[in-house]
Amino acid sequence: MSQNNTKLYELNHNFSSTGIDEKADINQKSSIITFSENDNENPLNWSSARKWSITLVVSLSVFLMPLSSSIVAPELSTISNELQMGSSLEAVLVLSTFVLTYCLGPLLLGPLSEIFGRVAVLHFGNSFYLLFNLVCGFARNKAQLLAFRLLAGFGGAGGLVVGAGIISDCFAKEERGWVIAIYNLGPVFGPSVGAVVGGFITQYTTWRWAFWATSIFDGALIVLGLIVMKETYPPIILARRKKRLPNNHLLKTPYENPDQTLSQLYRNSLLRPFNLLQIQPIVQLLALFYAYLYGLMYLVLSTFPTLWQEKYHQPIGPASLHYLALGIGYFFGSQVCGFLADPIYKTLKSKNNNIGKPEYRVVLMFPASILAPVGLLWYGWAAQAVVHWIVPDLGIALFAAAAMVLFQCTTAYLYEAFTLYAASATGAVYILRGLTGFGFPLFGPAMYQRLDFSWGNTLLALVAVVLGFPVPVVLWRYGEWLRARSSFAAG
């Protein structure tokens, strides 16, 4: 028996002694460790209870962080007076600085998830957020508060980094519609809930409890995560399996690159979202439209107090209840998308020889891209006329529902078009949405002061039309062609 054959025999014999089916987990010719069809370590084969419990923990994290970003929105004037801020712009920065690092944090934390796994990044992010969000409640001047908010936002990005990847790891394409619908409730429903809670905190107690209450929530979430979370990232799972096996120096996983150092891996992962944003037309289109809608969401959050307190003369507590119009719109949009997305996907797949395409997630974007600007116009002109409060609420709810559908379709498309690089593709989107979430609240008050709600929202709606209408058309007609020419996208 040759020396190579002897090594292969010993290798396969050692696999059998570990209780692992060597035929299922290793290609005997190439010594590649992979998942077998019914491998219980493959997240796709986990029980529904395990998958959903893990998804719940991540969903709660991505619910808490946007809630934490907006909970200060009704309290900005109170914080400004107590900490002696010189202008309304400085007060808005208390809201915007968190959004900036929350959206840009994935660029730094994303590569770490590829090196250390999804669970480690989630625990690190939640713990980092807990520390700096807690001390926000003890800030004695504006510099301390802004610095702590900046750092808390970075930690809050942990759940944002791993959420897309965990869904991609655990659920088959045909199952992701409802999962994405529930997961996306957090990023868009959280801001409206946070603003309502913040309004009543301001009315009945000190604004500092906004930070202490969210810190208590996060502490409980950390404990739950330590109990429930389990690593879902296939390269990490297979790398750990390899370490448990004898003669592992003869083995490798499909994801290994022996010529790549740890620093090179981090640098490549860090730069990949920028590369995708620079050279991938699909990512450019979706990132631009997603970022615009996201910026509008925070613009509305920052200007709601002006509308209800100054035009409708409502106290801050009851005025904050109007944020629920946004939340109801997001909830309605998510459920409509969750209910229709999977049936549409399965129907179109069955008509294509049972072969699915990411473009099948685009269908609902057609009506949503029309309804979003309609909702903005409805809200703006109703607010300008100071008609019954339910009318502008219905307008903004329509916008929120349409935006939610567009958010979910964008996320689903990126998951399926850039499967292995889903985290990097969504990270590219986060780059732009972080800038708009930070910047739009800064110019919003000045824009409404000059153009008022009527023409201000008309301008915003026109931009939404220009940006939004081409997106579903281009993806539906040319998405497959663009993916075929991409080295990052699935074919």
pLDDT score for 491:
57
User: Which residue type is seen at 427?
Assistant: G
Token pair 């797949």 is found at 349
Task: Report which of residues 82 and 298 the model is more confident about.
Answer: 82
- The string of DSSP letters for 160-207 reads HHHHHHHHHHHS-GGGHHHHHHHHTHHHHHHHHHHHHHHHHHHHHS-T
Helices then strands, counting H and E runs in the chain, come out as: 19, 2
What is the CATH classification number for the domain harbouring 412? Answer: 1.20.1250.20
Interval 48-98: pLDDT, tens: 999 999 999 999 999 999 899 889 888 888 898 899 887 777 888 898 899
| Residue 252 placed within a domain | no
CB 362 within 8 A of CB 480: no
Mean pLDDT, all residues of the chain = 84
Number of structural domains (the chain) is 1
CA-to-CA distance for 317 and 121, rounded, in angstroms?
A: 37
| Model pTM score | 0.76
| Residue 273 placed within a domain | yes
| Residue 38 placed within a domain | no
Band of residue 7 on the pLDDT scale cut at 50, 70, 90:
very low
Band of residue 258 on the pLDDT scale cut at 50, 70, 90:
low
Band of residue 408 on the pLDDT scale cut at 50, 70, 90:
confident
| Span of 233-237, 252-256, 307-311, 461-465 with lowest mean pLDDT | 252-256
| Residue 110 placed within a domain | yes
- Domain of residue 196 covers 46-245+257-484
Q: Answer yes or no: is pLDDT of 246 > 50.
A: yes
| Residue 58 placed within a domain | yes
| Residue 7 placed within a domain | no
Band of residue 259 on the pLDDT scale cut at 50, 70, 90:
low
Q: Answer yes or no: is pLDDT of 293 > 50.
A: yes
| Residue 337 placed within a domain | yes
Average pLDDT over residues 422-426: 77
| Residue 442 placed within a domain | yes
Q: Answer yes or no: is pLDDT of 12 > 60.
A: no
Q: Answer yes or no: is pLDDT of 178 > 70.
A: yes
- The string of DSSP letters for 347-363 reads HHHHTTTT---GGGGST
pLDDT score for 193:
86
CA-to-CA distance for 359 and 438, rounded, in angstroms?
A: 31
Q: Answer yes or no: is pLDDT of 8 > 70.
A: no
CA-to-CA distance for 455 and 462, rounded, in angstroms?
A: 10
Those residues with Cβ within 8 angstroms of residue 173's Cβ, 6 or more apart along the chain or in another chain:
345, 356, 416
Interval 336-382: pLDDT, tens: 888 898 899 999 999 999 888 999 999 999 999 999 999 999 999 99
Band of residue 148 on the pLDDT scale cut at 50, 70, 90:
very high
